[in-house]
């Protein structure tokens, strides 16, 4: 798995402060944090650029505003952008306050998110 364990630990610490209902699953070439059996966020290292990325599932409404930020790019894991998902570049979550901001957006959207088909 290509992800930074230090970043995963930072995510774990912040999520544990916000909720105790998070589980982990290996996917997206990294580690995915799930709440209520729904993908919340993930971290991995891009194989082409070697940049660490934070995958955020924030929903379409929040996406429209967030994607305008310099540190955000569309999540196009399969080559086609996925609605309501984006990547935050490493520069956008270096500070704990910034990481907390993104994780809160993910957790705020989670109750409206649909579970994946099994």
* Half-sphere exposure for 116 (CA within 13 Å, toward CB): 8
Distance separating alpha carbons of residues 52 and 65, to the nearest angstrom: 22
Please report, in tens digits, the pLDDT of each residue of the chain (118 residues total).
588 899 999 999 999 988 878 999 998 778 999 998 899 999 988 888 889 999 999 999 999 999 999 999 999 877 888 999 999 999 999 999 999 999 999 999 999 998 877 6
Q: What is the structure's pLDDT at 19?
A: 81
**Which residue from 73, 68, 69 is spatially nearest to 56, judged by alpha carbons?**
73
Residue 100 CB: number of other CB atoms within 10 A?
A: 18
Q: Judge if pTM exceeds 0.75.
A: yes
pLDDT of residue 1: 53
Provide the β-strand partners of residue 19: none
Domain ranges of the chain: 5-110
- pLDDT single digits (tens) 65-76: 999 999 999 998
Q: What is the CA radius of gyration of the chain?
A: 13
Give the CATH fold of the 5-110 domain: 3.90.1150
Give 91's contacts (C-beta < 8 A, 6+ positions apart): 71
């Amino acid at each position: 798995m290509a992800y930074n364990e230090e970043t995963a630990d930072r995510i774990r610490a912040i999520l544990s402060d916000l909720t105790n209902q998070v589980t982990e699953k290996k996917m997206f070439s990294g580690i995915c944090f799930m709440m209520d059996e729904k993908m919340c966020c993930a971290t991995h290292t891009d194989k082409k650029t070697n940049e660490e990325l934070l995958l955020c599932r924030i929903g379409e409404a929040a996406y429209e505003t967030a994607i305008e930020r310099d540190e955000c790019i569309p999540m196009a894991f399969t080559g086609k952008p996925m609605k309501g998902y984006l990547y935050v570049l490493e520069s956008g979550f270096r500070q704990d306050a910034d990481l907390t901001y993104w994780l809160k957006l993910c957790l705020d959207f989670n109750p409206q998110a649909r579970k994946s088909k099994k």
